[in-house]
Amino acid sequence: MGVMSEIQLKRLSEHKYSAQCTSLLDPVFQIWWRWLVEQMPLWLAPNLLTMMGFLANLIPNFILIYYCPQAFGNAPRWVYFLCGIGVFVAQSLDAIDGKQARRTGSSSPLGELMDHGCDAIAMVTGCLSFTITIQLGKEPIWMFIMCFTGIVLFYVSHWQTYVSGTMKFGLIDVTELQVASILVYFLTGLFGPDFWLNEVPVIGVTFQTCILASSVMGCVLSVCAIFSEIYQGGMGKNGSTIAGTSVLSPLLPITLTTYLAYHVAVKSPMNIFIKHPCLFYLAFGFAGTKVTLKLVVACMSKSPLEIKDICMLGGIIQVLNIHYGCPIDEKLLLCMMMVHMVFDISRYSITVCSQICNYLNICCFTIPYKPTESTKTK
C-alpha cells in the first residue's frame, strides 16, 4: 500500500524547484562543480550521484561512531581524514546531481526529493560525527543541545519552504558549514582529537568551546530568522502555507520529537543518554529525520502535513517505561527503537520513491534511454 495519494502524486509531478541563494562560497565552488559535472558520463543517472555522495558521507561517519561509541576518545587518525574526504565528496556530488539531470534531460521531482531525503539522514550522522571529533561527548548536556539544535534547524528550514514555496540559503549556510567541518576533520587527523581541548591564546577558552558557542549561536539565530519569516505569513490564501494550511501546522511534530528525547535524557534512571550517547542520538535523531521527510513530501506535493506518525511510538514507549519504573531494560528498548526507526525510514523512503517512479514512468537509478546534452549546465 502506498503512502502518497493520487492527488499528492499529481501535484508532486507539477512541482518546480525554487531557491534563493546568497551563500558566500557557492560562487567560488561553482567553478569546481561546473568542471566536475562535465567529467561525468551522460549515462550516469543523477540520482545515482546523489546516492554515491550520501554513502561517501554516511560510511565514514559510522566508522567513527564504531571507534567512539561514547562520543569521545581517539579513533585512528585515518578515520578523521576519511570523514573530511567523505564530506567533500558528498558536497561535490550533491552539488552536481541537479546539473547532471539538466545535462541529460532527466530532471524530475524525484531528484529533489532524494536530495533532501539523503540530506535529512546525513545531517543526523554528520552532526554526531562532528561532535565526536571535537570530544563533545565529555560534555553530554552541550552535546544534546548542539545535536538537537541541528535537527531543529534542518526541519525549520524546510518549514520555511513549506510556507513560502522557496528554499532560501543565507550568507553562512550549508557550503560554509561543510567547509568548516572538513577543516575540523583534517586538523583532527593531523593533531588528534585532544587538540580541541587546548585553550585558544588570549581568549582563555578551549577550541571546543569556541566551536560549540559559534555553532549553537548560529543555529539559534538562523531559527529565529526563519521564524520571523514564517510569522509574516505564507504564499497561500490568507497567508497560509503552499498547501493552504496554517503556517504553524508543522510545529507539533518537531516539538513532540524533541521533547520526547529531552524527557528520556533527563528522567532516565540509568542515565541512558550519558551511558549510550551515540545510540540515543541516532534513535531519536532518526525520528527527527522521519518527520522532516514527511514535511519535504508535504511541501513538494502541496498537501497538508500529517501530524501523527509511528516514528514517535518509540519515544512514547520510552517515556511510559520510565514512568512505570523501567520494567523493560532501557538499553534494550533503545536498541529496539533504533531498529524500528531504520526499518520505518527505509520502508517510507522506498515506498515513496517507488510510487513516484511508477507515476512518472521513470527509473530511479538509471536513464532508460540514450541521453544527449539537452541544455547547458548552469
3-state secondary structure at position 103: helix
Residue in 15, 116, 263, 276 annotated catalytic? 116
Amino acid at 328: I
How large is the average pLDDT for residues 335-347?
Answer: 97
3-state secondary structure at position 21: strand
- The confidence score (pLDDT) of residue 376 equals 47
3-state secondary structure at position 20: strand
* Cα–Cα distance for residue pair 82/59, rounded to 1 Å: 9
HEC-encoded secondary structure of 141-204:
HHHHHHHHHHHHHHHHHHHHHHHHCCEEECCCCHHHHHHHHHHHHHHHHHHCHHHHHCECCCCC
135's grid cell: 570530544
Place of cell 530568522: 225
* Cα–Cα distance for residue pair 181/129, rounded to 1 Å: 10
* Cα–Cα distance for residue pair 241/236, rounded to 1 Å: 5
Residue 6 has φ and ψ, to the nearest 5°, of: -60, -40
The 10s digit of each residue's pLDDT in 27-68 is 999 999 999 999 999 999 999 999 999 999 999 999 999 999
- The confidence score (pLDDT) of residue 202 equals 86
* Cα–Cα distance for residue pair 289/346, rounded to 1 Å: 11
3-state secondary structure at position 111: helix
- The confidence score (pLDDT) of residue 234 equals 87
- The confidence score (pLDDT) of residue 113 equals 94
| pLDDT of 375 above 60 | no
The DSSP letter of residue 19 is E
How large is the average pLDDT for residues 223-236?
Answer: 89
- The confidence score (pLDDT) of residue 22 equals 86
Contact 84, 57 (CB under 8 A): no
277-300 vs 109-133: helix crossing angle, rounded to 10: 160
- The confidence score (pLDDT) of residue 378 equals 45
Q: Is 116 in the active site?
A: yes
Any idea what the Cα angle at residue 26 is, between residues 291 and 378, rounded to 5°? Answer: 95
- For residue 37, give every residue at least 6 positions away whose Cβ sits within 8 Å of its Cβ, in sequence order, or none: 96, 99, 100, 103, 377
* Cα–Cα distance for residue pair 301/1, rounded to 1 Å: 18
The 10s digit of each residue's pLDDT in 109-129 is 999 999 999 999 999 999 999
Residue 377: pLDDT band by 50, 70, 90 thresholds?
Answer: very low
How large is the average pLDDT for residues 263-281?
Answer: 96
Residue 255 CA: distances (Å) to CA of 24, 248, 259: 31, 12, 6
